[in-house]
Amino acid sequence: MPNPKKSSPALPASALDDLVQSIPEGIAVIDPAGQVTFFNHGAETISGWNSREALGKPIDGILPLSVGKGRFQDLLPAGGSLPHVNVLTRSGQEITLSLARTPLRSPDAAGRSVLVFRDVTEEESAQRLRSYFLANISHEFRTPLSALKASVELLLEEIGDLTTAETVELVKSLHFSVTGLQTLIDNLLESVSIEAGRFRIRRSPTDLHTVVVEAEKVMKPLLERRNQTLVIELQPDLPTADVDPMRLTQVLVNLISNASKYGPMDKPIELGMALQDENTLRVSVSDQGTGIPLEERANVFRRFIRLDEKDKAQYGIGLGLSVVKSIVEGHGGRVGLDGRPGGGLTFWFTLPLKGEA
């Protein structure tokens, strides 16, 4: 009869140590008094403390809770997990940890426990942003839909008594609401496509003047509602560009819409398009609004970020500029913003005229 299979030899102690050290999660061992007796590389990366500094110190000092929230050790479960706990790193940065604790099972454990923790700060931030998104999306749809409903009901009830001028105004209101819904839905679909990894740029030879005309037509109802004019300055004889015309139009619509919402009524918005060099197009959209503080400008192209959270009259779900950034970078371009002398902002982007072969 064949010999039974022998079990694989156990890993040597050095290999086990290498295995534990290679795990990206933080792993720490504490004694019954809460002193750290082991600290892996993952724990070093998360906490900012190296193992030499951490060993022998209280875990409360290595992972202190946010100010005014007690001691870290007081929140440790006897066993099992703790979904979220906010602590400070060595540099004072607040982070969110997901934490699990289990007794160390070995003959010489002496009451020690193993802590396994993971930095979930970005996941928590994303969850909060999604909650903000869900809380605001209904308002975003309700506003134009309510306006559509009111205009249609008025047309149905009073169509025989309305003057031509009154009918035109109602139709303009309908056009404005439909345009708002179309822009919102386009940005939602694009954002979902980006997150799902299905985002693709479909290039074709494109007349840049046609793109500008299309964007101006889409934005006309909003600009008329706010009594704003779009001042367009195009370099003469712009060459044909190898771009995605639908998405380039979407970029212009989002930037003009942003300038309209955050710029003052009755003031012009400027759209410029010119060659930066022989193979690079530069496009800018400028408003005369209050601008954005320097320290906040780095965040404006992130999803679900609004430019002015404090102004309740301005609302939005913060997708437009993030979609702009994704489309521009998908073309191999860059996007940014600058302050304007005298107030306001200029949002700009550059695109290569020829895509990669």
Specify the CATH number of the domain 23-119: 3.30.450.20
Q: What is the pLDDT of residue 31?
A: 93
Q: Confirm if 108 and 93 have CB atoms less than 8 A apart.
A: no
Q: What is the pLDDT of residue 356?
A: 62
The CB-side HSE value for 348 (13 A sphere, CA atoms) comes to: 18
Instruction: State the CB neighbour count (10 A cutoff) for residue 303.
Output: 20
Residue 274: name the closest of 195, 334, 209 by CA: 209
* Domain locations along the chain: 23-119, 126-352
Q: Which residues of 203-240 are buried (b: 16+ CB within 10 A; e: fewer)?
A: beebebeebbebbbebbebbbebeebebeeeeeeebee
Beta strands in the chain (DSSP E): 26-30, 36-39, 80-88, 94-103, 113-119, 204-206, 230-234, 241-243, 269-277, 280-286, 334-339, 345-352
* 97 bridge partner residues: 85, 119
Q: Confirm if 79 and 48 have CB atoms less than 8 A apart.
A: no
Q: Please give the structure tokens belonging to residue 183.
A: 């822009």
Q: Which CATH architecture has domain 126-352?
A: 2-Layer Sandwich (3.30)
Q: Confirm if 353 and 279 have CB atoms less than 8 A apart.
A: yes
Q: What is the pLDDT of residue 309?
A: 45
Tell me which residue has tokens 């396994």: 116
The one-digit pLDDT tens for each residue of the chain (357 residues) are 555 555 556 656 667 777 888 888 999 999 999 999 999 999 999 999 999 999 999 999 999 998 666 788 888 877 777 778 889 999 988 899 999 998 888 777 778 899 999 998 878 777 776 776 666 666 667 767 877 888 788 888 888 888 888 888 888 778 777 877 777 787 777 776 766 677 788 899 999 999 999 999 888 888 888 899 999 999 998 999 999 998 899 899 989 988 998 889 999 999 999 999 989 999 999 999 887 777 777 777 775 555 444 443 344 446 778 888 988 998 999 999 998 887 889 999 999 998 764
Rounded Cα distance, 120 and 36, in Å: 22
